[in-house]
């Protein structure tokens, strides 16, 4: 075994992780190899330095700071969760809502179309081109079922 | 961890009380900055909360925790590097003030112990990141090579050779 590999055994030995068989082999090697013996001494010194280094006490109120910061995030998450719940409900009903809007749109379109076709039919039977009648039937003809009747109807009887 | 994921404040307090000292200890030694270490502690618990649902029951918690602690320390240390340049003077003043208020050891004793302690801390801090992690976890968190390998997603033998290299570097730095 090379000295480099023995160094790993030295580290294990200092950490108390070396079994008896390897420990005996290492001790035999240390008796014969001055380089590894010096390394073992230096490593032991480093261990001492590291273990003597004092501990860092936790500053006061750090725990409270941590708790309040995480709780803030928890609350934000719960608000986000409520919003997401509504968004999920909306997402669930979205196809139905789109269907309703489509049906209402088609319904309105059909109503307008029926009204227009009705106006054209009644006006064309009386006089002029269908477009003139469509635009001016309420003015000239005085007929009540003009194309604009469904929006506005003059009930006063005067003016037009 | 499940309770924490569901927003249980009692579970949070228990975890904070139990693990803050070791997280703080690691990050102070790793970054060498007490205020940064406090930020690391806060960020670690935020990450724990955010990832609580990913935690698999039965998995060694300490390994998982220290994986987060190490990554957070690296991330925050990188983002704080430029800020540190501006606050060096303030830190030195604050440390001096704290030492003057500390009544325990005599001035000479304090000077000597402070000097050697600082030397060791600086030597550890000047080690490459992986070697530093191994040394801190091994000596101050008393973890086995297997546990450290789990945290660093590495093998036991590579952790051991990192430790050997770290010790050689410390020998040079501390002039042993």
Q: Note whether B1-101 and B105-176 share their fold.
A: no
CATH 3.90.1150.10 is right for the domain spanning B1-101: no
Alpha-helical regions (H) of B51-106? 61-101
| Structural domain contains residue A157 | no
Query: Which pLDDT score is estimated for A44?
Result: 94
ipTM, 2 dp: 0.75
Yes or no, beta carbons of B139 and A49 under 8 Å apart: no
| B144 contact residues in A (CB cutoff 8 A) | 17
Say yes or no: A48 and A66 in one domain. no
Say yes or no: A89 and A34 in one domain. no
| Structural domain contains residue A72 | yes
Q: Do B60 and B66 meet the contact criterion of CB atoms below 8 Å apart?
A: no
Element housing B123 (H / E): helix B107-125
A43 Cβ under 8 Å from any chain B Cβ:
yes
Say yes or no: A70 and A112 in one domain. yes
Domain of residue A94, residue span: 62-141
Q: What percent of chain A has pLDDT over 90?
A: 38
Q: Pull the structure tokens for residue A56.
A: 């860092």
CA B13: distance to chain centroid? 21
| pTM exceeds 0.90 | no
Tally of domains in chain A: 2
Yes or no, beta carbons of A77 and B7 under 8 Å apart: yes
Confidence check: pLDDT of B146 > 50: yes
| B170 contact residues in A (CB cutoff 8 A) | 46, 49-50
* pLDDT band at residue A19 under the 50/70/90 scheme: confident
Any idea which architecture B105-176 has in CATH? Answer: Up-down Bundle (1.20)
The C-alpha atoms of residue B54 and residue B7 are separated, in whole angstroms, by 14
Disruptive mutation site among B147, B164, B175 for chain A (greatest number of A CBs within 10 Å): B164
Say yes or no: A35 and A70 in one domain. no
Yes or no, beta carbons of B29 and A55 under 8 Å apart: no
Give the residue among B147, B149, B169, B168 at the shortest CA–CA distance from B158: B149
Burial class (CB in 10 A: 0-12, 13-18, 19+), A33: middle
Say yes or no: A24 and A73 in one domain. no
Annotated domain spans of chain B: 1-101, 105-176
Say yes or no: A76 and A40 in one domain. no
Q: Do A10 and A36 meet the contact criterion of CB atoms below 8 Å apart?
A: yes
Q: What is the pLDDT of residues A75-109, one digit of tens each?
A: 888 787 777 777 777 778 888 889 999 999 999 99
Q: How far is the alpha carbon of A90 from chain B, nearest alpha carbon, in Å?
A: 24
Mean pLDDT (chain A) is 80
Q: How far is the alpha carbon of B24 from chain A, nearest alpha carbon, in Å?
A: 7
* pLDDT band at residue B101 under the 50/70/90 scheme: very low
């Amino acid at each position: 075994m090379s000295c480099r590999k023995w160094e790993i055994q030295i580290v294990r030995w200092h950490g108390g992780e070396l079994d008896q068989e390897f420990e005996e082999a290492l001790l035999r090697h240390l008796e014969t190899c001055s380089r590894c013996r010096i390394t073992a001494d230096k490593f032991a010194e480093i261990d001492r330095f590291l273990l003597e280094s004092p501990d860092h006490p936790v500053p006061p109120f750090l725990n409270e700071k941590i708790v309040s910061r995480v709780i803030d995030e928890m609350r934000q998450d719960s608000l986000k969760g409520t919003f997401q719940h509504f968004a999920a409900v909306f997402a669930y009903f979205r196809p139905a809502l789109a269907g309703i809007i489509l049906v209402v749109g088609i319904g309105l379109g059909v109503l307008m179309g029926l009204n227009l076709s009705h106006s054209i039919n009644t006006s064309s039977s009386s006089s002029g081109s269908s477009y003139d009648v469509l635009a001016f039937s309420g003015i000239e003809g005085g007929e009540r079922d003009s194309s604009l009747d469904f929006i506005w109807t003059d009930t006063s009887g005067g003016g037009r | 961890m499940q309770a924490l994921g569901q927003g249980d404040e009692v579970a949070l307090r228990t975890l904070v009380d139990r693990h803050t000292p070791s997280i703080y200890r690691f990050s102070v030694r790793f970054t060498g900055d007490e205020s940064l270490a406090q930020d690391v502690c806060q960020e670690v618990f935020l990450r724990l909360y955010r990832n609580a649902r990913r935690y698999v029951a039965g998995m060694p918690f300490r390994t998982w925790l220290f994986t987060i602690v190490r990554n957070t320390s690296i991330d925050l240390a990188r983002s704080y590097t430029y800020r540190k340049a501006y606050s060096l003077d303030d830190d030195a003043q604050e440390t001096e003030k704290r030492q003057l208020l500390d009544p325990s050891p005599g001035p000479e004793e304090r000077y000597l112990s402070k000097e050697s302690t600082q030397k060791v801390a600086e030597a550890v801090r000047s080690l490459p990141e992986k070697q530093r992690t191994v040394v801190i976890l091994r000596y101050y968190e008393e973890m086995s090579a297997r546990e450290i390998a789990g945290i660093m997603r590495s093998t036991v033998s590579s952790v051991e050779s990192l430790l050997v290299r770290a010790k050689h570097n410390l020998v040079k730095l501390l002039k042993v």
